Structure 1
Amino acid sequence: MSAVLGWIKSNLVSVIFFVLMVAAVVALPLLSRWLNTGVQEAMTERVSRYRELEKLEKTDVTVSSPAGGEAVSGTVLVNEKLLERYRAVSEAEAADATEVRTLALEHNRKGRGVILPRLFPEPPPAEREVLPERFHRQLEDAYAELLERVNAGGPPSPESVAEDLERHRAQYLSQILAKEVTDTLEPDEAEQLRDVLRKQRMSLYAAQAEGLGMYADMTALNVPIWQQARQPTPMELFQWQWEYWIIEDILLALSEANGEQSVQRAPVKRVISVLPFDDIVAAGGGEASGGAPSGGGSPGMGGGSRRGGGDETAAPKAKAANPSQEVKLDFSRSFTGRYSNPLYDVRWVEVQLVVETARLTDVLDALARRNFMTVIDVKLTPADHYSAARDGFFYGSEPISNVTLTVETVWLREWTAEFMPAAVRQALGVADPKPAAGG
Structure 2
Amino acid sequence: MKHVKAHLFLIICGIVAIVALAVWYFPIGGVREKTIEEAQKRHAQVKAINEFNNFTINIPGMEPLKGPPIPKITAERRKAMEEMKDKANRIAVEFAKGNRINRVTVQGDKVIPMLGDKAMPHHLPAVDATQVDPYNYKSEYERYLLRLALSLSGIVPPNNELGTLQAAAKMAVPPTAEEINAAIEAEKRAYSLRPEAKEWKDTNLPPERMTEIATRMISDRAVASRMYVAPAALQRRGFLANPLAKPSNPQVFESFVDCWLMTDIVRAINGVNADAFASRANPKAGEKHAVAHSAIKRLDRIVVGGSGAAAAAAAADASGTPSAGGLFLAAVRSGPTPGNPQMGAVAAGGIDHTRSMTGRTGEDKYDVVLVRVQMVIDPSAINKFIDQLYQQNNAYTVLNVQMQAVDPFEALANGYLFGDTQCVRVEILVEALLFREWTTPIMPAEYRALLGIAPAGPAVAQQ
Structure 2 length-normalised TM: 0.61
1:248-303 per-residue CA deviation (whole Å, 9 max, x = no partner) reads: 2222222222225342222221112212242xxxxxxxxxxxxxx3xxxx437645
CA distance in 2, matches of 1:110, 1:125: 24
CA distance in 1, matches of 2:193, 2:408: 33
Which residue identity lines up with residue 119 of structure 1 in the other structure?
A: H
Aligned to 1:236: 251
1:47-89 per-residue CA deviation (whole Å, 9 max, x = no partner) reads: xxx99xx699669999999xxxxxxxx9962236524643563
Aligned to 1:347: 369
Structure 1 residue runs of 5 or longer lacking an equivalent are 1-49, 66-73, 279-292, 320-325
CA distance in 1, matches of 2:323, 2:311: 13
Task: Quickly say closer, same or farther: Cα 1:64–1:143, change in 2 above 3 A.
Answer: farther
Aligned to 2:295: 267
Aligned to 1:310: 322
Structure 2 residue corresponding to 1:378, chosen from 401, 419, 425: 401
Which residue identity lines up with residue 126 of structure 2 in the other structure?
A: E
Structure 2 residue corresponding to 1:396, chosen from 408, 413, 419: 419
Task: Quickly say closer, same or farther: Cα 1:138–1:88, change in 2 above 3 A.
Answer: same
CA distance in 2, matches of 1:55, 1:121: 69
CA distance in 2, matches of 1:173, 1:400: 43
Task: Quickly say closer, same or farther: Cα 1:160–1:274, change in 2 above 3 A.
Answer: same
Structure 1 residue corresponding to 2:220, chosen from 184, 204, 216: 204
Whether the 8 Å CA contact 1:345–1:412 is kept in 2: the answer is yes
Pairs within 5 Å for 1:351-366: 351-366=373-388
1:344 positional shift: 0.9
Structure 2 residue corresponding to 1:122, chosen from 126, 139, 143: 126
Which structure has the greater CA radius of gyration?
A: 1
Pairs within 5 Å for 1:182-221: 183=200, 190=206, 192-194=208-210, 196-209=212-225, 212-217=226-231, 220-221=234-235
Which residue identity lines up with residue 417 of structure 1 in the other structure?
A: T
1:112-149 per-residue CA deviation (whole Å, 9 max, x = no partner) reads: 22142233343655545xx1222211211222232344
Task: Quickly say closer, same or farther: Cα 1:399–1:81, change in 2 above 3 A.
Answer: same
Whether the 8 Å CA contact 2:238–2:318 is kept in 1: the answer is no
1:325-371 per-residue CA deviation (whole Å, 9 max, x = no partner) reads: x8363211111111111111001122221222343333333333433
**SS of match in other structure, 1:225:** helix
Pairs within 5 Å for 1:236-315: 236-259=251-274, 261=277, 262-278=290-306, 293=307, 298-299=308-309, 302-304=312-314, 306-308=317-319, 309-310=321-322, 314-315=342-343
1:343-401 per-residue CA deviation (whole Å, 9 max, x = no partner) reads: 11001122221222343333333333433222323332332334434444322221122
Aligned to 1:14: none
Structure 2 residue corresponding to 1:132, chosen from 131, 134, 144: 134
Pairs within 5 Å for 1:415-434: 415-431=438-454, 432-433=456-457
1:177-200 per-residue CA deviation (whole Å, 9 max, x = no partner) reads: x95488589x9x935435543542
1:212-236 per-residue CA deviation (whole Å, 9 max, x = no partner) reads: 2552546643244344665443222
Deviating more after overlay: 300-309 vs 251-260: 300-309
Whether the 8 Å CA contact 1:272–1:352 is kept in 2: the answer is yes
Structure 2 residue corresponding to 1:101, chosen from 80, 92, 95: 92
CA distance in 1, matches of 2:380, 2:87: 39
**SS of match in other structure, 1:244:** helix
RMSD: 4.5
Aligned to 1:77: 68
CA distance in 2, matches of 1:433, 1:64: 39
Which residue identity lines up with residue 147 of structure 2 in the other structure?
A: E
Task: Quickly say closer, same or farther: Cα 1:75–1:397, change in 2 above 3 A.
Answer: same
Which residue identity lines up with residue 141 of structure 1 in the other structure?
A: R
Task: Quickly say closer, same or farther: Cα 1:64–1:376, change in 2 above 3 A.
Answer: farther
CA distance in 2, matches of 1:364, 1:202: 30
Aligned to 1:70: none
CA distance in 2, matches of 1:315, 1:79: 52
**Aligned residue pairs: how many?**
348
Aligned to 1:44: none
Identity of aligned pairs, percent? 19
CA distance in 1, matches of 2:197, 2:220: 25
1:305-342 per-residue CA deviation (whole Å, 9 max, x = no partner) reads: 533433695433389xxxxxx83632111111111111
Query: Are 1:155 and 2:170 counterparts?
Result: no
Task: Quickly say closer, same or farther: Cα 1:120–1:331, change in 2 above 3 A.
Answer: same
Whether the 8 Å CA contact 1:267–1:355 is kept in 2: the answer is yes
Deviating more after overlay: 364-373 vs 309-318: 309-318
1:419 positional shift: 1.0
CA distance in 2, matches of 1:378, 1:249: 18
Structure 2 residue runs of 5 or longer lacking an equivalent are 1-44, 105-112, 115-119, 155-168, 278-289, 325-339
Structure 1 length-normalised TM: 0.63
CA distance in 1, matches of 2:443, 2:424: 39
Task: Quickly say closer, same or farther: Cα 1:303–1:341, change in 2 above 3 A.
Answer: same
1:95 positional shift: 5.2
